[in-house]
Amino acid sequence: MTEETETRAQGVAGIRDVVSIRLPAASAYLSVLRTATAGLAARLDFTLDEIEDLRIAVDEACAMLLNEAVPGTDLTAEFELTGQEMQVRVEVATVGSSAPKRDDFAWMVLTALADDVDAVTDSADRMAIVLRKRRGAAQSTAGPA
């Protein structure tokens, strides 16, 4: 996103940026995804705490998916930046896996760090986790100090 694109995105409703990353489905590459997450969140002026929450949430979502991933396949991540919100969808190829368990500790971590979390299984051989984080959401829900 250039400065010109950023200005148009902030000034016109409905403009969005989408960044896609494809990596080998191996934990050795997650640092690349964490760095991309932090950089993109910084473009939206997220606070340092919000950026760190997103980095941890993306890392946790990927760790959950890598447990189900077919060896030798790719993990794809799509970041959608819209105004004050970032949506991150991470996805892997699986072999007949069901959606992640929503009652385990990893899922609780995800729901604590992101504003919205969902598991998506569009087909029997794909699994995705979608996270949404809004800038300033924790401050607006926390109330006055």
Mean pLDDT of the residues in the chain: 85
Q: What is the CATH number of the domain that holds 104?
A: 3.30.565.10
Q: What is the mean pLDDT of residues 31-36?
A: 96
> pTM, whole model, 2 decimals?
0.81
Does residue 119 sit within a domain? yes
Question: What's the whole-number mean pLDDT along residues 131-139?
Answer: 82
Confidence of residue 97 (pLDDT cuts 50, 70, 90): low
Cβ–Cβ contacts within 10 Å for residue 122, how many? 9
Inside any domain, residue 27: yes
pLDDT tens, position by position, 35-86: 999 999 999 999 999 999 999 999 999 999 998 899 999 999 999 999 899 9
Confidence label for 137 from pLDDT (cuts 50, 70 and 90): confident
- 142 is a domain residue: no
Range of the domain at 109: 18-134
| pLDDT for residue 14 | 56
Please check whether residue 43 lies inside any domain of the structure: yes
Domains: count for the chain: 1
